[in-house]
Structure 1
Amino acid sequence: MSRLRQANAITLFMLAYLLSYIDRQILSLLIGPIQADLHLGDTQFACLNGLAFSLLYAVLGFPLASLSDRKPRPPIIVAGVILWSLATMACGLCNGFWSLFTCRVLVGLGEAALAPAVYSYLADIVPKEKLAGTLSVFFLGSFLGSGCAFLFGGSLLSVAQHYNMTSLHAWQVCFLVVGLPGLFLGLIIATSVREPAQRRVAGPHVPAAQAIAFFRQHKMFFSLHMLGYTLLAVTLFSLFSWMPAQMMRIHHMSHTELGLVLGSIVIICGSAGVFTSGRCIDYLTHRGVVCASQIVAVTGAFLACVPLVISVLTTDRHLAVPCFALAFFFASFPMPPSATVLQIVVPVPMRARFSATMLFCNAIGGLSGGSILIGMLNDRVFQSPLAIGLSMAIVAGTASVLGGVLLLLCMPSYRRLYGAQQHHQHVYDAVSTGVREQTA
């Protein structure tokens, strides 16, 4: 694949991830008007924001990942983009909890097709020593998308409130508008991205039983790795999901002001964090540091904890905003290593399915579990919307520390697995070279 086609594919995938996060995160900004119009509590809103999205996103990630291991990946990506875009627009036609819940489930179904297929695709066109940096470019889409959802969502809501000529609520108009660009992007990907001519497939399709056996063979590493990154996902998704409510309830920000502040932080600090993380991993890997990914992720986890807790507990807006920016910068560090490690140590035919397993853990535990736990603490323990900061500090702060500890504990098992995979790859390369020489 030429460098131009490679760059084109990476850019389009990043834009798809960007739009997926706009469609996913716009709900967090609209918490006020949606709760008012549909009469929802924090727990119900958390179900819409986390559980509804993650249901099919998590479960169907496995068959879609298996499909990505065997079939051309661009059509899978295109189908996902178009589905979640249509489902987002359908959210704008909902007038009750269950109809909105159903549409959010379909948004999650569409987005489930994206990440496993893209991970597998990029690992085929990018050398190992540059994979973390390339994945960091893809992950930029999550922060650019979330930032745009906050940055422009507040202004869009204000415009919809003042110039709405329809019978729809302003928040419904927002869903219709933000879902539309995905339809055009899906068509662009369909016409410009092709499957690599030389796909890295090491042997025939591997049955699920063999993938499970590989997991069990290295269960110490995979258990610690996935649980650790799930806890770090709790930290990051808690900031995504509940920081708008925190800023509006405690610091009394308007939607427009909130969008400008949070949007700028998410775009600048999130993008800088994920880019820094990927480059640090590539640098350390080039220097021969085997556990480069874990070192970078653990550093981010520990450094994010203190500013995170300060940002959600202080009543001083001038302290809360810079602390949130610092926390978000470090909380974004774990995103590239969580995917990079699996692409390196998992055999090629199993990569997409292990990536789907990681996404399942992140969705159920990180996005859904963390968000619902915060909502339940507000509604049932503290029984006050103003306790949102304390709930976030307990859930997100604890998860950040525990996640970092688990990743430290998984380093020895990772070294063993990495060494075994390197040995197998050397044997495979030697056999392949011998076969080519005999053929020549």
Structure 2
Amino acid sequence: MSRLLQMNAIILFMLAYLLSYVDRQILSLLIDPIQMDLHLGDTQFAYLNGLAFSLLYAVLGFPLASMSDRNPRPPIIVAGVILWSLATMACGLCNGFWSLFICRVLVGLGEAALAPAVYSFLGDIVPKEKLAGTLAVFFLGSFLGSGCAFLFGGSLLSIAEHYNTTAFHAWQVCFLVVGFPGLILGVIIAITVHEPAKRRVTGPHVPVRQAIAFFRHHKTFFCLHMLSYTLLAITLFSLFSWMPAQMMRIHHMTHVELGLVLGSIVIICGAAGVFASGFCIDYLTRRGVICASQIVAATGAFLASGPLVFSVMTSDRHLAVPLFALAFFFASFPMPPSATVLQIVVPVPMRARFSATMLFCNAIGGLSGGSILIGMLNDKVFQSPLAIGTSMAIVAGTASVLGGVLLLLSMASYRSVYAAQLHQILAHDTAVRHSDMEEQAA
């Protein structure tokens, strides 16, 4: 694949990730009008924002990843983009909890096709020493998308409230508008992105039992890796999901003010954090630091915890906003290494399935579990929507510290699996060279 086609694919995948996060995060900005119109509590809203989305997103990631290991990946990506875009638009036609729940499930189903296929695709076209930086570009879409959802969603809601003459509520109009661009992008990807002429997958398809055996052989590393990044996903998704409610309830921001503040922070600090993380990992990797990913991610986790807790506990808006910006910058550090590590140490035919396992843990534990736990603390323990800051501090702050600790504990086992994979690659390369020499001699 030429350099130009490679950059085209990376940019289009990043745009797809951007739109996926717009469609995913717009719900958190619309929390007030949706709760008012549909008469929902925080726990029910958490089900919509977390469980509904992650239900099929997590479970169907496995068969979709298996398809990505064996089949051309661009059609899988295109189908996912079009499905979640149509499902987002369908959210604008809902008038009750269960219809909105089902549509959010379908949004998750569509988005489940994107990440495993993209990880596998990029792993084929990008050298290992540049993979973290490339994935940082892809992950940039998550922050641009979330930022755009906040930045333009607030203005869109305000416009819809003032000029809407249809039978739809303003929040329904927002869903109809933000879902449409994905349909256009899906067509563009279908036309311009094609499967690489040569895939790095060699040999027959690896059965599931062999992938499970590989996991069990290195279970200490994979358990620590996936648990730590699930905890860090709780931190990041808690900020995504509940910071709008925190800013509106405690600091009395309007939707437009909230969109400008959170949108700017998510785009600038999230993007800066992802690029800083990818740059540091690539820099340390080039200098022979084997555990560069764990060091960078753990550093971000520890540095995010303090500002996060203080930002959600203070009643001073002028202090809360810069502290949130600092916390979000460091909380974004774990995103590139969470995927980079798996592309390095997992054998090529198994990569998409291991990526799906990682996404399953992040979705069920990080997005769904963390969001529901915060909602239940508000409704059942503190019994007040104004306790949102305390709930976020308990859940997100604790998860950040524990995740960083587990990452440090995983370093020894990572060295072991890294060495084993490196030995296997060297042995394979040596066998190929001997085979080539024998063919030449013959």
Aligned to 2:148: 148
Question: SS of 2:200's equivalent?
Answer: coil
The one-character-per-residue Cα deviations of 1:300-319 (angstroms, maximum 9, x if unpaired) are: 00000000000000000000
Q: Which residue of 1 aligns with 2:205?
A: 205
Alignment size in residue pairs: 440
In structure 1, distance between residues paired with 2:240 and 2:72:
33
Q: For 1:79, give the aligned amino acid.
A: A
Query: What are the Cα deviations for residues 312-352 of structure 1, in whole angstroms up to 9, with x where unaligned?
Result: 00000000000000000000000000000000000000000
Structure 1 residue 430 displacement after superposition = 1.2
Match of 1:12 in 2: 12
Counterpart of 2:30 in structure 1 is 30
Q: TM-score, normalised by structure 2?
A: 0.99
| Letter matched to residue 329 of structure 2 | F
Aligned pairs (5 A) from 1:200-279: 200-279=200-279
| 1:430 aligned partner | 430
Q: Distance in 1 between matches of 2:116 and 2:191?
A: 21
Consecutive unaligned residues in structure 1, runs of 5 or more: none
Shift, 1:431, TM fit: 1.2
Encode CA deviations 1:88-125: one digit per residue, 9 max, x unaligned: 00000000000000000000000000000000000000
Deviation at 1:437, TM superposition (A): 3.2
Shift of 1:429: 0.9
Among all aligned residue pairs of Structure 1 and Structure 2, give the percentage whose two residues are the same amino acid.
Answer: 84
Q: Return the alpha-carbon distance in structure 1 between the equivalents of residues 435 and 303 of structure 2.
A: 50
Cα distance per residue 1:243-271 (max 9 Å; x no partner): 00000000000000000000000000000
2:180 maps to 1:180 = yes
Correspondences of 1:248-397 after superposition (within 5 Å): 248-397=248-397
Q: Which residue of 2 aligns with 1:65?
A: 65
Q: Distance in 1 between matches of 2:214 and 2:190?
A: 34
Please give the alpha-carbon distance, in whole angstroms, between the structure 2 residues aligned to 1:435 and 1:123: 26
Give me the whole-angstrom Cα distance separating, in 1, the residues matched to 2:212 and 2:417. Answer: 16
Which segment drifts farther, 64-73 or 194-203?
194-203
Letter in 2 for 1:288: G
CA distance in 1, matches of 2:139, 2:366: 17
d(CA) in 2 for partners of 1:377, 1:148: 29
AA paired with 1:323? L
CA distance in 2, matches of 1:144, 1:435: 48
Distance in structure 1 (CA, Å) of the matches to 2:384 and 2:434: 70
Whole-Å separation in 2 of the counterparts to 1:439 and 1:21? 51
Give distance in 2, aligned partners of 1:82 and 1:431.
Answer: 44
Match of 1:410 in 2: 410
Residue 132 (structure 1) aligns with: 132
Which residue number in structure 1 is paired with residue 75 of structure 2? 75
| 1:438 to partner: Cα distance | 3.2
One-letter amino acid matched to 1:218: H
- How far residue 200 of structure 1 moved from its aligned partner, in angstroms, is 0.3
Is 1:56 the counterpart of 2:51 in the alignment?
A: no
Deviations 1:160-183 (Å, cap 9, x if unpaired)? 001102100000000000000000
Match of 1:163 in 2: 163
1:101 aligns with 2:76: no
Runs of 4+ in 1 over 3 A off after TM superposition: 437-440
Deviation (angstroms), 1:202: 2.7
- Corresponding residue of 1:112: 112
- Aligned counterparts of 1:202 and 1:432: Cα–Cα separation in 2: 12
Query: For residue 346 of structure 2, what is the amino acid of its counterpart?
Result: V
* Deviation by residue 1:355-410 (Cα, 9 ceiling, x = unmatched): 00000000000000000000000000000000000000000000000000001100
CA distance in 2, matches of 1:393, 1:36: 26
Q: Counterparts of 2:418 and 2:150 in 1: how far apart (Å)? A: 40
Letter of the structure 2 residue corresponding to residue 304 of structure 1: A
Deviation at 1:237, TM superposition (A): 0.1
Looking at structure 1, the residues matched to 25 and 437 of structure 2 have their Cα atoms a distance apart, in angstroms, of 54
TM-score of the pair, normalised by structure 1: 1.00
Compute the displacement of 1:206 (Å): 0.5
Quote the Cα distance in structure 1 between the aligned partners of 2:5 and 2:436.
Answer: 28
User: Any idea what SS the aligned residue of 2:298 has?
Assistant: helix
Q: Which amino acid aligns with 1:310?
A: F
**Amino acid in structure 1 at the alignment position of 2:252:** H
Q: Distance in 1 between matches of 2:438 and 2:309?
A: 63
| Deviation for aligned residue 1:203 | 1.5
> Equivalents in 2 of 1:436, 1:161: separation in Å?
70
Cα distance, 1:434 vs. partner?
Answer: 2.3
Amino acid in structure 2 at the alignment position of 1:358: M
The residue type paired with residue 392 of structure 1 is M
Q: C-alpha distance in 1, partners of 2:50/2:43? A: 10
Q: Which amino acid aligns with 2:336?
A: P
Distance, in Å, in 2 between the alignment partners of 1:92 and 1:400 is 35
Distance 1:179 1:211 in 2: 36
For the residue of structure 1 that corresponds to 2:95, the secondary structure is coil
> How far apart, in 1, do the equivalents of 2:66 and 2:439 lie?
33
